[in-house]
Amino acid sequence: MSARLEALVRAHWWRAVASVTRAVGGDLGLAEDAVQEACAAALAQWPASGTPANPAGWLITVARHKAIDRQRREARRNEKEVAAMTEPPGAPGQAARDPDDELALIFMCCHPALDPATRIALTLRCVCGLPTAEIAATFLVPEATMAKRLARGKAKIRDAGIRFHAPTDGELRDRLPAVLRVIYLVFTQGHTASAGDALVRGELCDTAIGLAREMDGLLGGEPEASGLLALLLLTDARRAGRTDAAGNIVLLEDQDRTCWDRGLIADGEAILERALRAGRPGPYQLHAAIAACHSTAPAAAATDWRQIALLYTELIRYEPTPVVEANRAVAVAMAEGPAAGLVILDAISSHPQLQRWPQLHIARGSLLARLHRVHDAMAAYQMALQLELPAAEQAFIIKRIRQLQEAH
């Protein structure tokens, strides 16, 4: 089957599921099954009959008929009221795009009453149209486990009364962070696999960027949605530099900056500037500003670490976590010297959450090495090795320990 057709169908998935969910009164599971069937029909028919002029309209019309048919059959079987289900207006191929329905769908999938892992799975399935097997592979769980997670999520939406509706202003303010968080986690899952060898899963990064771009458009440039999009673009611009030909991780300071994507960086910077002009700062805008400091520095030595340390100080107001504090410590170390950074790191390193965070030990190892405390540095790197790490990062730490042993 042609990849082009599959991509075309996938591109209309969000809109199709949203429109059909609306048509069947909020039954997400029914709508998604119907869109799945319509897409299968499209992939079977279009190669022979030609792609229709309005593929989205075709998919929505076909899926809507299938969904309403099934709803009627089930209503008859259950001897319930059928009268309420009437054909919604809209001639074939003329289904108008409704941003409210698309927002309703992603806010439904990211509802805070759902388990966080379920929110991500539902978003990838119902909004992005990723096959269950692909989502399972991404999260390193068996397909049956992922299928069960998706089914449980849809059952909870139905049984608990999570309604399909465009968010009100108040809901938008309260719940947008949860939606943006899901998109961010999809990106990080693609950017750094939590385990295994695939360090960069480009397609998942592209999916997250696509989601962020759609959200930014649907919300008309809501600053935090724009901030997230800018963050993802500015980070993804460095994708080609993050690993070497053998798949080993390359530190930001050692990356070949000529292979960074200048177009994406310019795009991200412009979006961030537009967001900041609204004068409503937030964590994603701050993260994006930090990413911009890195991505726009002509050389590692030219990085504005003082600015980055200030941005992390601001970020702590929104994310008062030891992880953000640890990142601030690294920036301070770069701006004022390793001793200043180590003071901050040591102050927070007893935090139990941080003890299990390999980046803390890697950062301590690096600062200690710069202070020529070789034995302490090696001990810190050894601590990181005891924790679960992607293979590429493990190889990197082993290399660092060997370098320290040789220099000693």
Token pair for 168: 């009100």
Q: What are phi and psi of 243, to 5 degrees?
A: -130, 150
Decide whether 44 or 160 has the Cβ nearer to another protein: 160
CA distance linking residue 193 with residue 186, whole number of Å: 11
- Measure CA 180 to chain center: 8
CB of 103 to another protein, least distance (A): 14
Decide whether 89 or 161 has the Cβ nearer to another protein: 161
- Cβ proximity of 214 and 102 under 8 Å: yes
Span from 135-143, 155-163, 259-267, 361-369 in contact with another protein (CB under 8 A): 155-163
Q: Which of 74, 100, 115, 254 binds another protein (CB under 8 A)?
A: 115
Residue 156 interacting with another protein (CB under 8 A)? yes
Q: State the CB neighbour count (10 A cutoff) for residue 28.
A: 24
Decide whether 353 or 382 has the Cβ nearer to another protein: 353
| Dihedral angle over CA of 194, 196, 199, 203, nearest 10 | -90
Span from 10-18, 29-37, 157-165, 266-274 in contact with another protein (CB under 8 A): 157-165
Residue 220 interacting with another protein (CB under 8 A)? no
CA distance linking residue 12 with residue 46, whole number of Å: 15
Residue 114 interacting with another protein (CB under 8 A)? yes
CB of 251 to another protein, least distance (A): 37
- Helix or strand run (H / E) with residue 396: helix 391-407
Residue 171 interacting with another protein (CB under 8 A)? yes
Which of the residues 39 through 78 are near another protein (CB under 8 A)?
A: 78
CA distance linking residue 95 with residue 156, whole number of Å: 29
Q: How many residues does the chain have?
A: 408
Q: What Å distances lie between residue 52 and 7, 16, 93, CA to CA? A: 15, 15, 9
Residue 160 interacting with another protein (CB under 8 A)? yes
Decide whether 13 or 107 has the Cβ nearer to another protein: 107
Residue 239 interacting with another protein (CB under 8 A)? no
Q: Which of 1, 44, 113, 133 binds another protein (CB under 8 A)?
A: 113
Q: Which of 284, 169, 276 is nearest to 225 (CA)?
A: 284
Place of tokens 């119902």: 126
CB of 228 to another protein, least distance (A): 21
CB of 268 to another protein, least distance (A): 31
Q: Which of 79, 77, 76, 65 is nearest to 24 (CA)?
A: 65
Residues paired with 243 in a beta bridge: 249
Q: Which of 92, 93, 112, 217 binds another protein (CB under 8 A)?
A: 112
Token pair for 302: 């030219």
Decide whether 28 or 377 has the Cβ nearer to another protein: 28
Decide whether 12 or 111 has the Cβ nearer to another protein: 111
Q: What are phi and psi of 161, to 5 degrees?
A: 80, 40
Residue 10 interacting with another protein (CB under 8 A)? no
CB of 270 to another protein, least distance (A): 34
Q: Which of 10, 152, 201, 373 binds another protein (CB under 8 A)?
A: 152
The residue ranges that bind another protein (CB under 8 A) are: 78, 111-115, 118, 152, 155-156, 159-163, 165, 171, 174
